[in-house]
Structure formats: structure tokens, C-alpha cells
């Protein structure tokens, strides 16, 4: 069944060149949704069931030597609480975005390309979440990265778009390389030693639900494993746009808004968090790795939120907020609460997709992304305004919206670890402060776009509410933005999260929330919203050209000059290396090849002309070869053997 699901997704890529091609893709994604929901419900009804279907692709039997237990490469699907959860996210958001695309994209060129790439992405993403081993996971990981590159570059005629796509590809590639190195280290470590002696032998399969290899030794201390964990963190940081590999995500917003909603908010960017969660549930991290993960997550949450505060582009504000929220998830996973992180991932996927689709609705109506040109949209676009507000309240963490429950769990989980790990304190405080910023920046965007009397830029077209194919997904997501958090009170859903969490050895804190902490965070969020209202409410625009504030604003708008720094490194450093490599290539390699060409070319030409000399030459080679063999056998090889002591 699960395999057929992937096949269905792939089949979606087959249809092309048809006027109604989009509807075919919608139909396929609907089928995928059905399968995904069935799997999810099945998993909820019998929590803790692990359905692993696999077949051995290649098997090397045990033999003395480097891999005493043999090596296996397997392909398989694993359905367990975590993958079921992810599958629901991917298929629900995937289907809704597909539907939304019908109207949103209908004026664009190259729609077959769009739908086939989006279908391929859905298939690859589903494959990623149900992979049952690390190598298969990596293959799908690369595939979703490739789809992301294609889709960011959808409007490839514009230079900014092409360069943003390239940037996304290259920056995530840095992470991918680290991930691959991490896989190598694990391969090396667990092929010969380690608690599961034969992890290489059983094909790197995630046997989730059992205690992780490093369980009980959350302070496991092999330096090699720490290195592997850092490498995995690097891979996750690339995919999930965590500091310092965050630079690509805001620029990726040049892709279609639907793509931003599906790939760069709800699913693909969450793959990094998912990787960390799976690794922590299955392998476990060492204490050093945990601190590093918490630090990266907590710092990114705050760092990205500050940049969202000033940005004039509606999509980029939401993109920074995505980075910030991903930081929360990473921090929760790092603190040992993988399921809490995944719960936040689950709710975030819905309300962030909602925010993007609502923003898309505005962009669709006005044709601009600049918040300062919008305004007064509340009246002509009542539904969109309401949807954006619901998404914003969920993001800010106002009860009873979804974001409240999951973000609160993240904060209280980390809080519960502060006693044991005082080093988490600064990052917890940063994350806590972020709550205020979140409330502020998302409602700054809301007020700028929707409040006031009229659109600020009179040249823009008259705004209107979009047709049903766009509003239905928004309404459904709005409902989910409320309900997905409340699901935690449904016992069978909660059991999904608890089953997965059982493996960490640390019970999650769902619904045992620290009341004081919760009130404090809600108060902070509300304060943020109030500040936003007082500054930007009723269509006000705050003048920013005032001394200190302006310099801060410029720093933030320039993203702390990170991008410029990377560009400089890229331009100066990489370009110089590339020049050197090019020189090497041209003069050394090409020279060698051309030299060879000339030598062998002239030699064989000469030999060809003298036909009688040919065979005797060949015979001479044989005699020379015979002498070589004797020299090797009698002189060289014995000497070598005496030196290195045999095989």
C-alpha cells in the first residue's frame, strides 16, 4: 500500500502538456491524501505499531576483515508514529496547495513543468518520511532538494530568481555534504563496533520504538559520535535554514507562493528537523551535540525573528518567521524532546502554510509583495484578512490556536531541562524573548496589509477576494490552525506522540504545562501584538529615519551582513580557488591529456603505417611484459612484502 502511494505520486509526474494537467495532479495528490490519512488513522488506532516492509538490494555476507558482520543495502518503507504524523502533514498540505495552485498559477507559463515538479516533490517527500534506513533517506533528501531548486527557479527568466535557486542549492549542498560525512562516520563506527555491531549488516535500518543506541548515555562521549552528530546537525541546518546556513530561505521566496507554502514552510524545510528527530530517537546524541543543537535552535529562533521585524516584503517576513519557528523545533529536539519538536512541526505546517496562502491571496489580488504599498485590505478581502489573522494568532501563540499548545510545549520542555543543563539558559531566554518578537512582527504585517482605509499605492489594481479553489484551502487550513493544537487532547493522537517519545527516556510535557510559564509567554505575545497595533494600527506608518533606530533597521534589513559576507567569501575566496582549479585544469590536466593524445596519437599513427613492424612490436611488448612480470615477481614484490609484512 505504501509503495503504491509513492508510485501514485510518481505517476503524477507523468501527465504533461494538458490544459487540465493541473487537475490530474490534484487528483493524484488527493489519492495520496487519502492513503496518507488512512495510514495516519491506522497508526492512531493501534499506536506503537511498526510496519516495516523492506527488500534487500545488496547483501555482502559476513566475512573476516573490515566488516565482520557483512554489509547490506536495503530499500524499505517504515510506517510508525513519526512517519505517520509527517505523512499527514505532507499529504494534507500537499493536496491543499495543489488545489490552490489551480487558480493561483493559471496565468503562468510552463504549468506542466510546475505540476510535474510539484508532484515529484510530493512523491520524494513522502518517500523521505517513510524511508526505513539512513541511505534511502539520504537519496530522497537529495531528491527533495533538487525539486526545491527547480521550483525556486520556476521563473528562471529573471536573473534574481536564477541566482536565488542556485544559492539555495549551493547552501543546502554544504549541509548535504555534512550529512553525508555524518553517514560515513556512522557507517564506520557501527560497521565494526558499537552497541548494534551490525548496523552496516542490517542496512542502516531505523528500528524505531526501541531504545536508541546511545540511550541512557545521553552523555555518551565517543568523540567520533560527537563528530557524526555535529555533521547531522550541519545537514539539518542546511535543509531547515538554521544559523549559519539560513541565508538561502528568504531568497527562496522568489519562487511561486504556493511553492513557498508547501516546500519552504510546511514540508521540505521541516525535513532537517525530522532528520534530527529520527537521529535522536534512533541513535541518540551525545551531550555536546545536544548542547550544540539547542544553541543553534535557540539562537536561530531569536536571530531570524529580529530580521522579520523590519522587512517590508510580506513573504520574507513569513520566511524569517519560518526560520525562527524551525529554530524552536530544533531546540526541542536538541533538548531531548524529539516528539515535542515534531508536534510543533505538525501544527506549524498548517498555520504557516495558511499564512503563505493568505499572503498569496493578497499578492494574487494586488501583484505586489511590498507591505508598505498595501493597506486597507480588510474590507475587500474579508476572508483573507480573517485567515491571515488566524494564522498570525496561531503563530504568536495565543490560546486556543494551535501554535500556543505546541510552542508552549517546546518552551516548557526546554525549561524542564534547565536544572540539569544550566548551559541551556541563554538559549532558553532567547527563545522566550522571541515570543514577543513573533507577536510583534506578524501583526505588524497584518496591520500594514489589512488595516487602514485604502491601498496606499493607488496604481495597484482593485483588490478582490479570490475564487473558491483558493479560498477552500485557506479555510481548511484555518480550521487546522485551530484544531491541530487541540488534537493533543485527543487520546489516540496523543498516544502517537507518546509512543515515539518513549524511546528518549524523557517523558514529554504535553498538557502538564507549567501555568506560570504559559501565562508569561501568552502575555509576551499579547504585548507584542499590542505594540504592533500601537505603532501600525489603523493604517499608520511609522517614520523610521531616526538615528539609532535607522542604523539598527539597516543592519537587520541587510541581514546582519551575513549574505554580503558569504558573497564576499564566495566571490573572493571561492572564485580564487576556482581560478586556480581552472588553471590547473587547463594547463596541467588538459596539458597532460593533450600530451598523451599527441604521444599516443603520433605513436599509433606511425605504427599503423608500418604494418610489418606492428606484430613484432606487439611481440616485443609481450617480451617486455614478461620481463616486467619477472622483475615484479622476483625483485619488487618480495621487497614490498618484506616491507609491509604481507597482505
Partner 1 sequence: MDLQSFAGPFVPEIVLLAATLLVFLLDVVRVRDNEIVGAVALGSVVLALLLVLADLGFAPLAVLATVPSSSIDASVTGAPLYSFTSLGLVFQGLFLLAALLVCLASLSRPKDERGAPIFYGLLLLATLGMVLVAIASDLIFLLLAIELVSVPTYLLVAYSRRDARALEAAMKFYIIGALSTTLSFFGASLLYGAYGTTNLHALATAEAAAGTAGYPVLVLLGYGFLIAGLAFKATLVPFHAWAVDVYDGAPTDVTAFLAGGSKKVGLFAFFLVFLAPILFVRTMASGSPFVTGSVAVGPVLQITLAFLAVVTMTLGNVLALLQKEMKRMLAYSSISQAGYMLIGIAVGTAPALAGATLQILAHVLMKTGAFLVVGAVAALGVGPLIDDYKGLGQKRPLLGVAFGLMLLSLAGVPLTVGFVSKFVLFSAAVQAKGYFVWLAVAGLLNSALSVFYYARVLKVLFFDVAEPRALATGAVVGGSEPEILPVGGLGYGRAAAIALVAVVVVVLGVYPQPVLGAIQNAAQHFVNLGG
By CB under 8 A, name the binding residues for partner 1: 55-61, 63, 65-67, 71, 73, 593, 596-597, 600-601, 611, 614-615, 617-619, 621-622, 624-626, 628-630, 632-642, 644, 646-647
SS3 of 121-160: HHHHHHHHHHECEHHHHHHHHHHHHHHHHHHHHHHCCCHH
Closest CA to 29 of 118, 151, 150, 155: 118
Residue 172, CA distances (Å) to 99, 142, 341, 467, 507 in order: 28, 10, 21, 36, 33
Q: Which is nearer to partner 1, 581 or 632 (CB)?
A: 632
The residues, any chain, with a CB within 8 Å of residue 188's CB and separated by 6 or more, are 224
Q: How far is the CB of 155 from partner 1 (least distance, A)?
A: 25
Q: How far is the CB of 638 from partner 1 (least distance, A)?
A: 4
Q: How far is the CB of 274 from partner 1 (least distance, A)?
A: 24
Cis peptide leading into residue 244 (ω within 30°) = yes
Task: Report the C-alpha gap between 154 and 339 in whole angstroms.
Answer: 34
Task: Report the C-alpha gap between 46 and 61 in whole angstroms.
Answer: 36
Task: Report the C-alpha gap between 239 and 217 in whole angstroms.
Answer: 28
Task: Report the C-alpha gap between 393 and 98 in whole angstroms.
Answer: 25
Q: What is the dihedral of CA 209, 213, 216, 221, to 10 degrees?
A: -150
Q: How far is the CB of 634 from partner 1 (least distance, A)?
A: 6
Element (H, E) at 260: helix 257-261
Q: How far is the CB of 106 from partner 1 (least distance, A)?
A: 33
Q: Which is nearer to partner 1, 462 or 609 (CB)?
A: 609
Q: Which is nearer to partner 1, 59 or 554 (CB)?
A: 59
Element (H, E) at 524: helix 515-536
Q: How far is the CB of 558 from partner 1 (least distance, A)?
A: 42
Task: Report the C-alpha gap between 440 and 521 in whole angstroms.
Answer: 13
Q: Which is nearer to partner 1, 479 or 635 (CB)?
A: 635
Q: Which is nearer to partner 1, 163 or 602 (CB)?
A: 602
Q: Which is nearer to partner 1, 459 or 611 (CB)?
A: 611
Q: Which is nearer to partner 1, 63 or 571 (CB)?
A: 63
Q: How far is the CB of 127 from partner 1 (least distance, A)?
A: 15
**Long-range contacts made by residues 282-285, C-beta under 8 angstroms, separation at least 24?**
282/206, 282/207, 282/208, 282/212, 282/213, 282/503, 283/186, 283/212, 283/213, 283/214, 284/212, 284/213, 284/214, 284/215, 284/217, 284/218, 284/220, 285/214, 285/218, 285/229, 285/334
Q: Which is nearer to partner 1, 420 or 619 (CB)?
A: 619
Q: How far is the CB of 525 from partner 1 (least distance, A)?
A: 49
Task: Report the C-alpha gap between 113 and 151 in whole angstroms.
Answer: 9
Q: How far is the CB of 605 from partner 1 (least distance, A)?
A: 12
Q: Which is nearer to partner 1, 423 or 619 (CB)?
A: 619
Q: How far is the CB of 200 from partner 1 (least distance, A)?
A: 10
Reading phi first (left if > 0) and then psi (alpha if -120 to 50, else beta), residue 464 is in beta
Q: Which is nearer to partner 1, 543 or 645 (CB)?
A: 645
**Residue 199 cell numbers, joined:** 548496523
Q: Which is nearer to partner 1, 55 or 548 (CB)?
A: 55
For 72, phi then psi, to 5°, come to -130, 145
Task: Report the C-alpha gap between 82 and 5 in whole angstroms.
Answer: 17
Q: How far is the CB of 184 from partner 1 (least distance, A)?
A: 13
For 183, phi then psi, to 5°, come to -60, -40
Q: Which is nearer to partner 1, 73 or 486 (CB)?
A: 73
Q: Quick one: how far is CA 385 from the chain centroid?
A: 29
Q: Which is nearer to partner 1, 45 or 66 (CB)?
A: 66
Task: Report the C-alpha gap between 177 and 549 in whole angstroms.
Answer: 40
Q: Which is nearer to partner 1, 568 or 621 (CB)?
A: 621
Q: How far is the CB of 425 from partner 1 (least distance, A)?
A: 46
- 57: three-class secondary structure by DSSP: strand
Q: How far is the CB of 614 from partner 1 (least distance, A)?
A: 7
Cα dihedral sign, 378-384-390-394: negative
Q: How far is the CB of 345 from partner 1 (least distance, A)?
A: 31
Q: Which is nearer to partner 1, 516 or 644 (CB)?
A: 644
Residue 27, CA distances (Å) to 99, 115, 164 in order: 9, 12, 31
Q: Quick one: how far is CA 439 from the chain centroid?
A: 24
Element (H, E) at 278: helix 270-282
Amino acid at each position: 500500500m505504501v509503495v503504491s502511494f509513492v508510485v501514485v505520486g510518481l505517476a503524477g509526474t507523468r501527465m504533461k502538456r494538458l490544459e487540465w494537467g493541473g487537475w490530474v495532479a490534484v487528483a493524484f495528490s488527493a489519492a495520496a491524501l487519502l492513503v496518507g490519512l488512512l495510514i495516519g488513522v491506522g497508526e492512531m488506532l493501534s499506536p506503537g505499531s511498526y510496519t516495516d516492509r523492506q527488500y534487500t538490494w545488496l547483501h555482502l555476507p559476513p566475512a573476516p576483515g573490515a566488516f565482520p558482520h557483512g554489509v547490506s543495502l536495503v530499500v524499505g518503507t517504515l510506517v510508525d508514529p513519526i512517519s505517520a504524523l509527517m505523512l499527514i502533514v505532507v499529504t494534507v498540505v500537499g493536496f491543499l496547495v495543489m488545489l490552490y495552485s489551480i487558480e493561483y498559477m493559471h496565468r503562468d507559463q510552463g504549468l506542466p513543468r510546475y505540476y510535474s515538479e510539484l508532484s515529484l516533490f510530493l512523491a520524494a517527500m513522502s518517500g523521505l518520511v517513510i524511508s526505513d534506513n539512513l541511505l534511502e533517506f539520504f537519496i530522497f533528501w537529495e531528491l527533495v532538494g533538487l525539486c526545491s531548486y527547480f521550483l525556486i527557479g520556476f521563473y528562471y527568466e529573471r536573473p534574481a530568481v536564477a541566482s536565488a535557486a542556485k544559492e539555495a542549492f549551493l547552501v543546502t549542498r554544504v549541509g548535504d555534504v555534512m550529512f553525508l560525512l555524518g553517514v560515513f562516520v556512522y557507517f564506520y563506527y557501527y560497521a565494526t563496533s558499537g552497541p548494534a555491531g551490525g548496523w552496516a549488516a542490517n542496512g542502516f535500518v531505523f528500528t524505531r520504538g526501541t531504545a536508541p543506541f546511545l540511550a541512557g548515555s545521553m552523555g555518551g562521549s565517543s568523540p567520533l559520535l560527537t563528530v557524526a552528530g555535529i555533521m547531522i546537525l550541519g545537514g539539518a541546518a542546511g535543509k531547515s535554514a538554521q544559523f549559519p546556513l539560513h541565508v538561502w530561505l528568504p531568497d527562496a521566496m522568489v519562487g511561486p507562493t504556493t511553492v513557498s507554502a508547501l516546500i519552504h514552510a510546511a514540508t521540505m524545510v521541516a525535513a532537517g528537523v525530522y532528520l534530527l528527530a529520527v537521529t535522536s530517537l534512533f541513535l541518540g546524541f551525545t551531550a555536546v551535540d545536544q548542547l550544540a543543537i539547542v544553541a543553534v535552535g535557540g539562537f536561530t529562533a531569536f536571530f531570524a525573528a529580529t530580521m522579520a521585524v523590519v522587512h517590508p516584503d510580506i513573504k520574507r517576513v513569513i520566511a524569517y518567521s519560518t526560520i525562527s519557528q524551525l529554530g524552536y523545533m530544533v531546540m526541542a529536539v536538541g533538548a531531548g524532546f524529539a516528539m515535542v519538536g515534531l508536534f510543533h512541526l505538525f501544527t506549524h505546517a498548517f498555520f504557516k502554510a495558511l499564512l503563505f496562502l493568505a499572503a498569496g491571496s493578497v499578492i494574487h489580488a494586488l501583484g505586489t509583495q511590498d507591505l508598505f504599498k498595501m493597506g486597507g485590505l480588510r474590507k475587500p478581502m474579508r476572508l483573507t484578512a480573517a485567515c491571515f489573522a488566524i494564522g498570525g494568532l496561531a503563530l504568536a501563540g495565543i490560546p486556543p490556536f494551535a501554535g500556543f499548545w505546541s510552542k508552549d510545549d517546546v518552551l516548557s520542555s526546554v525549561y524542564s531541562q534547565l536544572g540539569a543543563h544550566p548551559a541551556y539558559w541563554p538559549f532558553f531566554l532567547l527563545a522566550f524573548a522571541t515570543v514577543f518578537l513573533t507577536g510583534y512582527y506578524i501583526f505588524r504585517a497584518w496591520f500594514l496589509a489589512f488595516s487602514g482605509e485604502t491601498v496606499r499605492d493607488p496604481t495597484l489594481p482593485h483588490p478582490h477576494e479570490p475564487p473558491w479553489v483558493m479560498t477552500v484551502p485557506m479555510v481548511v487550513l484555518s480550521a487546522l490552525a485551530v484544531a491541530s493544537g487541540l488534537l493533543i487532547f485527543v487520546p489516540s493522537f496523543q498516544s502517537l506522540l507518546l509512543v515515539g517519545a518513549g524511546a528518549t527516556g524523557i517523558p514529554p510535557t504535553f498538557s502538564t504545562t507549567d501555568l506560570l510559564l504559559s501565562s508569561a509567554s501568552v502575555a509576551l505575545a499579547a504585548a507584542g501584538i499590542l505594540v504592533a497595533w500601537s505603532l501600525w494600527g489603523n493604517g499608520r506608518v511609522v517614520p523610521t529615519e531616526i538615528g539609532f533606530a535607522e542604523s539598527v533597521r539597516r543592519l537587520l534589513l541587510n541581514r546582519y551582513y551575513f549574505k554580503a559576507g558569504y558573497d564576499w567569501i564566495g566571490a573572493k575566496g571561492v572564485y580564487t580557488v576556482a581560478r586556480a582549479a581552472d588553471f590547473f585544469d587547463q594547463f596541467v590536466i588538459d596539458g597532460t591529456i593533450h600530451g598523451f593524445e599527441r604521444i599516443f596519437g603520433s605513436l599509433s599513427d606511425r605504427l599503423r603505417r608500418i604494418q610489418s613492424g606492428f606484430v613484432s612490436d606487439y611481440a616485443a611488448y609481450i617480451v617486455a611484459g614478461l620481463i616486467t612480470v619477472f622483475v615484479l615477481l622476483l625483485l619488487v614484490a618480495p621487497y614490498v612484502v618484506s616491507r609491509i609484512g604481507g597482505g
